[in-house]
Structure 1
Amino acid sequence: MNLNRRLFLATVLSGFVQMSFKKGRKLCFSTLGCPDWTWEEIINNAEKYGYKGIEIRGIGAEIDILKSPVFSKAMLKESKRRAEDSGIEIVNINPSSKLHETDVQKRKANIDEVKNYVDLAVELDCPFVRVFPDKFAFKNDKQKSLNLISEGLQEVNEYANGSGVKVLLDCHGDLVLSNDIKQVMNEQPANSSGIIWDYFNMHYQTEESAATMVKALKPYIEFVQIKDGSFTNRTTHEYFLPGQGQVPIDKVLKELDKIKYKGFISLEWEKRWHPELPNLEKALPVFSKVVNA
């Protein structure tokens, strides 16, 4: 076989492997993007737009799904069955819980909420529960602040141990620098937890590259959220349809490909907090096209 033919076949094979890997990407979306949808509409639209999973951050007017009738004792089994029958995985459920509280009662309430979400996740066969870090409680002592977050994460990890559910730390609030996140995660028992990688949240404050983030956090990336927006608007978060903002989605995906990431990639379309955004129906096909380009 001559050199040109070998190069041709190698190029074709490489392209085929890359295409196959891209086709294997699993897409989901957060219900932040559809605060007006019922559970039935959420499932129907996931099917319609080819999404295999959903990340639950509120249903309808209720942000705390522990209070939602959809997951009440009377409805939980039917709600779960409806998703399963459609081949839709409930991938991640999101309380508003934070690990930075210093007040004893507030801290207990937040940690107890995470534990209650872990219990719900078990019933839903959902692998992940998200928790916010969130702020550095001691403004003049970052290490003490990191310790507080780490200790809270350890407590909820211990509760989830053996349940089949992992509590994932969101890269959010003050905890967005890769090395700070890495320190907190290094203090957790091996394989007990992970992170939600959100490039926008991190880069908006740190200006770190996707490569820098992944190099530091590779062992801990269990779930990925993507949103697109402006980094030049420093007064408020300004979001755009995927591919129309300043987030280098192609570079984010390239870094995920390098580490052979096979988990879900979630569209976080924050319409609940930004009602001026277009409806989720407009963002879903755009996101799918951009991610699978």
Structure 2
Amino acid sequence: MSPRAFSTLGCPGADLDEVVRLARAGPCTGVELRCAEGQLVHPELDPAAADRLAEALCRAGLAVPVLASYVQVAADEPDVVDRLARHIALAARLGAGQVRVFGGGAERAAGRRERAVRHLAEATPIAEAAGVGIALETHDVFLTGAEVAGILEAVGSPAVGAVWDAVNPWRAGEAPERTAELLGPWLRHVQLKDVASPTDLRPVVPGRGVLPLGGVLAQLSRLGYAGWISLEWERAWYPEAAPLAEALPAFHRVLDAA
């Protein structure tokens, strides 16, 4: 059975006690930490504070499967690899297994695939030395498993893998069977959520929307995937959504029924 986590995207501004309380209310043994200003972790967090947070999470019995960065590897900027390196160092201090990255680069479409490959390849030795993976999410300019897998194949390093955000390939027209086939060799982390329709991305309690969550979970089972499955409840972007404490029980019911 895959271990379960939730993203702190669902509890913006929560302190450590609240995060631990949410985890203990259900069988979550991990927390996907959103790395942004105003959160438990942010890009400028000093090493001593990171060490204290890592120790507190360890005492609470919580792992950090992913540090969810906002680094855009396809961006046409000179400091992409430097920013990624700083996130890798922070992830290592926190004991996080992966640093999540996005594609980005929408402002200059030409060459964005090549930029993503180049930046990831340059960061690979840094990740390998730190013992932290880099995981490219199916998101923004690289929505599908096909797009992400093509980049990962070009990089060709076991230090670089994929985050399967279950909504995005599906809303782009890629069936879960196809996404699983493409991402299987690279899959490092899975984010589940549910929505009302492919064009209405407001959070819906898992199991009450239209995303074929059962199909996604069946494909993970077929792959023999035993990695983390995380609820990404996007309350930071949709403050009118129900509290994370109401979404988590539904998330567990969906997984228990699979």
TM (norm. structure 2) is: 0.93
- CA 1:64–1:90 in structure 2 vs 1: closer, same or farther (change >3 Å)? closer
Residue 150 of structure 1 aligns to which amino acid in structure 2?
V
1:36-55 residue pairs with structure 2 within 5 A?
36-55=13-32
1:160 aligns with 2:127: yes
Contact 2:73–2:102 under 8 Å retained in 1: yes
**Aligned ranges 1:165-244 → 2 under 5 Å:** 165-204=132-171, 206-232=172-198, 234=199, 236-244=200-208
Across the aligned residues of Structure 1 and Structure 2, the Cα RMSD in angstroms comes to: 1.9
CA contact (8 A) 1:54 1:89 kept: yes
- Quick one: which amino acid aligns to residue 132 of structure 2? V
Q: In structure 2, what is the Cα distance between the partners aligned to 1:174 and 1:39?
A: 33
SS in structure 2 at match of 1:292: helix
Please state whether the residue corresponding to 1:129 is helix, strand or coil.
strand
Identity of matched residues, %: 25
TM-score for both structures, normalised by structure 1: 0.82
Letter in 1 for 2:149: K
Which of residues 64, 70, 82 in structure 2 aligns to 1:112? 82
1:137: how far off? 5.2
Q: Which moved more, 1:26-35 or 1:186-195?
A: 186-195
Deviations 1:174-203 (A, max 9, x none): 112332222111111331210000120122
Amino acid in the other structure paired with 2:85: K
- CA deviation vs aligned residue, 1:28-80 (integer Å, no higher than 9, x gap): 0000000131012112221222200000014783486133xxx5344333321
Looking at structure 2, the residues matched to 110 and 166 of structure 1 have their Cα atoms a distance apart, in angstroms, of 16
Distance 2:82 2:197 in 1: 35
Q: Is the partner of 1:148 in helix, strand or coil?
A: helix
Letter in 2 for 1:34: C
Q: Give the secondary-structure state (helix, strand or coil) at the position aligned to 2:182.
A: helix
Counterpart of 2:78 in 1: which secondary structure?
Answer: helix
- After superposition, residues 133-152 of structure 1 pair within 5 angstroms as 133-136=103-106, 138-139=108-109, 141=110, 144-152=111-119
Q: After superposition, give the CA deviation of every residue in 1:124-152 in whole Å (9 maximum; x if it has no partner).
A: 2211001111245554x5xx321111111
Equivalent pairs, count: 257
Cα deviation per residue 1:88-133 (whole Å; 9 max; x = unaligned)?
101111121112222xxxx233332211110011112211001111
Do the aligned partners of residues 54 and 63 (structure 1) sit closer, same or farther apart at CA in structure 2, a change above 3 Å counting? closer
| Cα drift, residue 278 of structure 1 | 0.5
- Given residue 28 of structure 1, which amino acid in structure 2 is its aligned partner? A
The DSSP-based 3-state class of the residue aligned with 1:54 is: strand
* Greater share of residues in helix: 1
Distance 2:40 2:47 in 1: 18
CA distance change for structure 1 residues 291 and 108 in 2, over 3 Å: closer, same or farther? Answer: same
> What SS does structure 1 have at the residue aligned with 2:161?
strand
> Highest Rg: 1 or 2?
1
Letter in 2 for 1:213: T
CA distance in 1, matches of 2:37, 2:114: 36
